[in-house]
Amino acid sequence: MTTIVTRSGKGSALSFAEVDGNFTNLNTDKIEGITSSVDSELALWSSTTGKVLKRATITGLVKATSGVASAATAGTDYLAPPSGTAILKANSGGALANATAGTDYVAPGTATTFSAAQTFNSGNLKLAGSSSGAATLNAPAAAGTNTYTLPPDATTLGYRNVPAVGAKTSSYTLQTADVGKYVEVGSGGSITIPDATFSAGDVVSIFNNTTGAVTCTCSITTAYIAGTDTDKATVSLATRGIATVLFNSGTVCVITGNVS
Strands (E), 24-123: 43-45, 53-55, 62-65, 68-71, 88-90, 96-98
Confidence at residue 29, expressed as pLDDT on a 0 to 100 scale:
72
Q: Are the C-beta atoms of 74 and 95 separated by less than 8 Å?
A: no
pLDDT values of the chain reduced to their tens digit, one per residue, 260 residues: 678 888 888 889 989 898 888 888 887 777 776 667 777 777 777 777 667 777 777 888 888 888 788 888 887 887 777 777 778 887 776 677 788 887 788 777 777 777 777 777 666 666 665 666 666 666 666 656 666 666 555 555 666 789 999 999 999 999 999 999 999 999 999 999 999 999 999 999 999 999 999 999 999 999 999 999 999 999 999 999 999 999 999 999 999 999 99
Q: Which residues contact 236 (CB under 8 A, 6 or more apart)?
A: 213, 214, 215, 216, 259, 260
- All structural domains of the chain, each given as residue ranges with its CATH number in brackets, are 164-257 (2.60.120)
Phi and psi torsions of 135, nearest 5°: -105, 120
Q: Could you give the count of Cα atoms lying within 13 Å of 152 in the half-sphere of its Cβ?
A: 0
Q: Are the C-beta atoms of 238 and 213 separated by less than 8 Å?
A: yes
Confidence at residue 138, expressed as pLDDT on a 0 to 100 scale:
63
Q: Are the C-beta atoms of 208 and 185 separated by less than 8 Å?
A: yes
Distances (CA, A) of 53 to 34, 36, 50: 6, 11, 8
Confidence at residue 89, expressed as pLDDT on a 0 to 100 scale:
82
Confidence at residue 70, expressed as pLDDT on a 0 to 100 scale:
87
